[in-house]
Amino acid sequence: MLRFLLAATLLLPISSLPAQLPPPPPPPAAAATTLLLLRPAAVFDGETLHPGWAVLVENDRIRAVGPAAQLNAPAGARTLELPGLTLLPGLIEGHSHLLLHPYNEAPWNDQVLLESEALRVARATAHARATLAAGFTTTRDLGSEGAGYADVGVKQAIDLGLIPGPRVLVATRALVATGSYGPKLSANVDVPQGAQEADGPEGVVRATREQIGKGADFIKVYADYRWGKDEPSRPTFSQEELNLIVQTANSAGRPVVAHASTPEGMRRATLAGVQTIEHGDGGTLEVFRLMKQRGVALCPTVAAGDATAQYKGWRKGQDPEPDRIQQKRLSIKAARQSGVQLAFGGDVGVFAHGDNVREAELLVREYGFTPLEVLRGFTSNNARIFQLPDRGRLQPGLLADLVAVQGDPTQNVAALRQVKLVLKGGVEVK
């Protein structure tokens, strides 16, 4: 039968045979290149102010930076004139909590215990939008504070373009020693905690790996905390436990950051090899010198303490400064004297998202920093400390995360509040 069919086919006229197969479709055309030439009054490149410079953006990257007279618009480029504005790298928030909102709206305990995760995620969506609109194109988010791995989902939604927001580095749940964190009610009531409890070598290694597997970009550990209400902070994890957390995270390519405010907690975290220490309220000259020697940076978060003191009734400018504020001044003075690296972030979430510049303003007005120091801090310094080599400066090949503000922020830090343009990956988002 098969031989019959073959023979019949060979006897058919040429016109009745199947037509030649069509050629394969051509490959899809490459996406068109988008070119944008930005011509502000001045460019701050992450280190230095350059009046009369311009920046050329190609797709999501910076193609060229230099004097406007030498930077002509290529064919097909759109030119955006920005008279009176300073163009700078997108700001990098060093310490935020997108899943928290100001404590004068709802206490931390109530947020963790009474607000549903759905509500907290909805708030975080608004917080991410406000952060980006304020000119912060990257944020390091230091814990979901009882909302589990919701920060991973918020980050994914931003990356997929479902909601507007900055580039987010997430810590997920954070690590605490059992009994040292909160919320705490009566001794016989177990309630959800604001972070993941872990103890002992096996426990801390398992919890670190679990958070990494769930999407943590870095691990946050509470090296000290209050064991009871109104107690002073004391160390929580042992040196061995901290060492294992850092070793486990580093093996997976993740850094570790430590909440620490006592000299001993800071010392243990520094010896373990964390990337940054957050707060450092009780830091001494000795421990800051150790941090400098070990390459550990301090993120002092002055805005959070300033905000919470006012929530508790401190009438700033009228009442004497609370002990906590005075201690913060002493610790920052010692840190500056030691030469330790400083990261910049305000612990935003304790106060309103979108008000991130509050940290920069306080550092200039009340802690002796220059506007140029904090501007470098929120751009190139944060990028270097957080190991983000593709941002924080205006250089060819880096991400086109750009912000234009009215005036000169190297002279007046309040200019950072006058955000007129935000680009994230070369796309205008404000």
Q: Which amino acid appears at position 368 of this protein? A: G
pLDDT bucket at 8, cuts 50 / 70 / 90: very low
pLDDT of residue 6 exceeding 50, the answer is no
Check whether 11 has a pLDDT greater than 90.
no
Q: Give me the pLDDT at residue 22, please.
A: 53
pLDDT at 13: 42
Confidence label for 26 from pLDDT (cuts 50, 70 and 90): low
**pLDDT tens per residue, range 42-76:** 999 999 999 999 999 999 999 999 999 999 889 99
Question: In degrees to the nearest 10, what's the CA dihedral of 178, 183, 189, 192?
Answer: -80
Band of pLDDT at residue 15, cut at 50, 70 and 90: very low
Mean pLDDT to the nearest integer, 230-254: 97
What does the pLDDT look like over 334-362, one tens digit per residue? 999 999 999 999 999 999 999 999 999 99
pLDDT confidence of residue 19: 43
What is the reported pLDDT for 24?
60
In this predicted model, what pLDDT tens digit does every residue of 140-176 receive, in sequence order? 999 999 999 999 999 999 999 999 999 999 999 999 9
Task: Give the integer Cα–Cα distance in Å for 108 and 231.
Answer: 18
Q: How far apart are CA 46 and CA 91, in angstroms?
A: 10
Of 22 and 168, which is predicted with more confidence?
A: 168
The pTM (predicted TM-score) of the whole model is 0.92
CB-CB contact of 57 with 423 (8 Å): yes
Please choose, from the candidates 281, 276, 316, 317, the residue with its C-alpha nearest in 3D space to the C-alpha of residue 298: 276
- Taking each helix axis from N to C end, the angle separating 358-367 and 302-311, rounded to the nearest 10 degrees, works out to 90
Distance from C-alpha of 190 to C-alpha of 231, rounded to nearest angstrom: 20
What domains can be seen in the chain, in order of their start residue? 33-90+387-430 (2.30.40.10), 91-356 (3.20.20.140)
User: How confident is the model at residue 319, as a pLDDT?
Assistant: 95
Please tell me the predicted confidence (pLDDT) of residue 284: 98
pLDDT tens track for 269-297: 999 999 999 999 999 999 999 999 999 99
Identify the band that residue 1 occupies on the pLDDT scale cut at 50, 70 and 90: very low
Q: What does the pLDDT look like over 216-232, one tens digit per residue?
A: 999 999 999 999 888 99
How does residue 20 score in pLDDT terms, banded at 50, 70 and 90?
Answer: low
Write the CA distances from 388 to 92, 283, 426, integer angstroms. Answer: 10, 27, 18
User: What average pLDDT does the chain have?
Assistant: 93
